[in-house]
Amino acid sequence: MVELANPLYTEWILEAIQKIKRQKQRPSEERICHAVATLHRLDKRTVLEQLELSVHDGSILKVTNKGSVSYKDPDELRHVDWNKILRRAIEGLDDNHGSSLKNIQRYLRNQDDLSHVLDNPGFQQRLRLSAKRAVNNGRLEKNGPLYRLNQGGSGVEGRSQRCPGASPLALQCVTLLPHESDQLRADPIPICSFCLGTKESNRDKRPEQLLSCADCGSSGHPSCLKFSPELTTNVKRLRWQCIECKTCSSCRIQGKNADEMLFCDSCDRGFHMECCNPPLSRMPKGTWVCQVCRPKENGKKLLHKKADEIKRRYAKPIGRPRNKLKHRMSVSSGDGSMLARGGRGSPGRGQKLTVSVTVTVNKKTKGLIDGLSKFFTPSPVGRRSSRAGEILDPSALKGSQSCCPARKKPGTPVKQEPGFVAVSREHVTEEDVEIFTQVQELSSQRNGTMTITNSGRYPAVIEFGKYEIQTWHSSPYPPEYSRLQKLYLCEFCLKYMRCKSILQRHAKKCGWFQPPANEIYRKDDLSVFEVDGNVSKLFCQNLCLLAKLFLDHKTLYYDVEPFLFYILTKNDEKGCHLVGYFSKEKLCQQKYNVSCIMIMPQYQRQGFGRFLIDFSYLLTRQEGQAGSPEKPLSDLGRLSYLAYWKSVMVEYLYKQPDKHISVKGISRATGMCPHDIAATLQHLCMIDRQDGRFVVIRRERLIQRHMEKLRASPRLNQVDPDALHWTPSPRLNQSVV
């Protein structure tokens, strides 16, 4: 007899899974037990038993990814074809202007064959999300709250060609551009950069042809690159470039505005947004096709399209609303007159108008009168609205009676009451501005209420120890902290605070003077600590939030359990000060030895980046295997690693003048993976093909020049292998092998 899970307990576990997901965390066994125990006071043993039974009867899904186990809520709506349902509802309503979501829901609720879908409580939210995705993919058009079918996207179907199974693009045959046919092609590397497989065996142990970059020779399986069969067919006909060598096919400049480069979903060419035809001001959503692969539009249709754009651009509203107030801005000039600036349609925009204002006293109203009385007084004078060209004197609002402006002929000076003083920029000195700025900063430091400026970064400045550092990018701190102009961080525990006074109180109570981990390396004033993300979770999360301020492509903030963090510190009598860090996965099938690396700005250009890279390969050699950084590399990471690989390769060849050299021997001595070695040798022009074999060529002049530079300016900080006190975990080595 099969034992079934208690439905009540299963419901509690599903609630806990949803709560954990809302917190952007992975629903592991530990988190589920903690959430259920907190909400319903259920012990951990019972929760684990009910969780296992729920997995057996299909109430909960168990997912394993990279050695980590998590649980999901099996949603019955995930098998529903929402695009088909939306198309059916819009075609059934048959409204030329479009249909709103309420009308679509009302139509679907009258369909008998969809009763099992409509009864689900998440139907309304899923329908709204599906409509939003359909608009982004080009299947639907949205005009305000109305949705309608996209008549022009029938051939494309709005599907991304990077996804397998997408319908083929109805495009013209791809052809080579003039500058592409004249350039030479690099010798391909017969190893996939992602799965380290060959054309005989890909990630799924199946034979698959490799796509090779025409510039550097790096190769990859189409399945590893997430290319569809149609895109793979088109790329094989072209001079394809990898993501690291990609250049704009229009301006042919590499490295310029890399963040604003678009990749065609038909030929995988790259184009800057300003180089597109027509130029783009923002990133397009869904499928994008370049001007080379885009089908040519009919001339007549294009002419009508341009005419409609011109009509919308120069269209003017007919007539003018009479009962609405015209918002105008009045500025006092030096001669006592007023400057009136009108909106659209006002004659003489920005011209100086000299008008007269008289005060009319409403004698009927008595009692307590203030500046808003004319809006709440039953007198016709008080309710009369100001017309175009009228300006209300600010001194009239300071009186104790209701007033209404009256129009006078131009040329009469404005009458001002005694005691009214116009404050302009001429009356404010630089000393006043400086005093005001100091008081404002002092107030913000005391209560932490200064908001951000127009810098576009959240926060713009951090105070870290004795340094005040300007951030490079935004970081997802909680909203009450990210909206501050300056954020204060403890340099030992990395806790973030709102103001200086809180940081000072925290420093008196904080007992941390080093990272919460074991010290595995020490030489002179440098130390390296190994921090487990599963043990010191809060510290590692704060470290990731700090790193995001200086790394553009970092996406991991809270799920730190599967990672190890190696913290580099500089020591003095006050403690161990953070210099930088790198992280790597505990269980990595690709044998990546670095997932993320960062050096604090105040310690950059001092050799600490190379120190951490060299330290990661030292740990790799201790583990007895070859390693490589996680791909793809960022722009700064690619430059740093390429410079490191070149120097290591040249110094290895200098130390081995007469011995037989092989890629495997270099890999065992340096810890670098064979693919990185082959790519570095190609950059150094030290590899050639002779008689069907690849041969390493020594360039003695290059080697001697490098060693002379190294003797002239020695490196500041180097890793000493004898100072390392660390042994690899047997469990990690067995799991990788």
Rg of the chain's alpha carbons, rounded to an integer? 34
Q: Is 147 helix (H, G, I), strand (E, B) or coil?
A: strand
Residue 29: CB atoms within 10 A of its CB come to: 15
d(CA 96, CA 104): 14
Numbers of helices and strands, H then E, in the chain = 22, 24
Please choose, from the candidates 532, 647, 553, 535, the residue with its C-alpha nearest in 3D space to the C-alpha of residue 598: 553
Look at strands 338-341 and 61-65 and give their pairing: unpaired
Higher local confidence (pLDDT), 554 or 356: 554
Task: Classify residue 248 by its DSSP letter.
Answer: B
d(CA 669, CA 436): 63
Catalytic member of 630, 651, 700, 708: 630
Residue 720 CA from chain centroid, whole number? 37
The tens digit of pLDDT for each residue in 614-671 reads 999 999 999 888 999 998 888 888 889 999 999 999 998 888 877 678 888 889 899 9
The structure tokens listed for 584 are: 């790597």
The answer to whether the pTM exceeds 0.75 is: no
Residue type at 357?
Answer: V
Res. 340 pLDDT band, cuts 50 70 90: very low
Catalytic site residue 630? yes
Task: Classify residue 273 by its DSSP letter.
Answer: G
pLDDT at position 180: 75
The structure tokens listed for 618 are: 């030292």
160 has pLDDT over 80: no
d(CA 314, CA 309): 9
Share of the chain above pLDDT 90, in %: 18
pLDDT at position 368: 43
The tens digit of pLDDT for each residue in 648-660 reads 999 988 888 776 7
Q: Which residues contact 725 (CB under 8 A, 6 or more apart)?
A: 520, 521
Highest mean pLDDT (candidates 320-324, 435-439, 726-730): 435-439
* Long-range interactions of 608-611: CB distance < 8 A, separation 24+: 608/568, 608/579, 608/580, 608/717, 609/580, 609/640, 610/640, 610/643, 610/644, 610/715, 610/717, 611/526, 611/568, 611/717, 611/718, 611/719
pLDDT at position 488: 93
pLDDT at position 447: 60
